[in-house]
């Protein structure tokens, strides 16, 4: 089944939603019903698997040297350790906060 992700910007607010149709039909819908700016992203291929696997739910606080903080929640592969998470996040910027200090608040396994 075709699927199209729509991002609609109206003033300072952006909304996102999926339409269960191809990009041509989604374009017609957007032109008829949406105000503001919009863009559609059609699903062209799928990767991964539908087979349920175990993973870790991780909550992280990153902060920079100025004291600004950002909170992240993510699902990571069960084989990844805390050191792997620190290595990947180090130096990246999220919501304008560079990850100078990284603290893992919680990490729990989900089967």
Pair of tokens at residue 8: 């609609």
Which residue range(s) make up the domain with 17? 4-42
- In this prediction, residues 76-98 reach a mean pLDDT of 90
How would residue 69 be classed by pLDDT, with cut points 50, 70 and 90? very high
Q: Per the structure, how many domains does the chain have? A: 2
CA-based nearest residue to 89, from 78, 110, 104: 104
- In this prediction, residues 63-78 reach a mean pLDDT of 91
- Same domain for 68 and 102, yes or no, is yes
- Same domain for 26 and 62, yes or no, is no
Map residue 23 onto helix, strand or coil: helix
In a domain, 47, yes or no: no
């Amino acid at each position: 089944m075709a699927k199209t992700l729509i991002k609609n910007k109206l003033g300072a607010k952006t909304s996102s939603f999926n339409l269960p149709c191809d990009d041509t039909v989604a374009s017609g819908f957007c032109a008829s019903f949406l105000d503001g700016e919009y863009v559609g992203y059609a699903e062209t291929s799928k990767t991964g698997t539908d087979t349920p696997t175990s993973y870790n739910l991780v909550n992280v606080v990153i902060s920079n040297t100025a004291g600004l903080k950002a909170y992240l929640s993510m699902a990571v592969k069960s084989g990844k350790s805390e050191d792997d998470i620190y290595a990947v996040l180090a130096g990246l910027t999220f919501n304008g906060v560079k990850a100078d200090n990284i603290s893992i608040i919680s990490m729990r396994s989900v089967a």
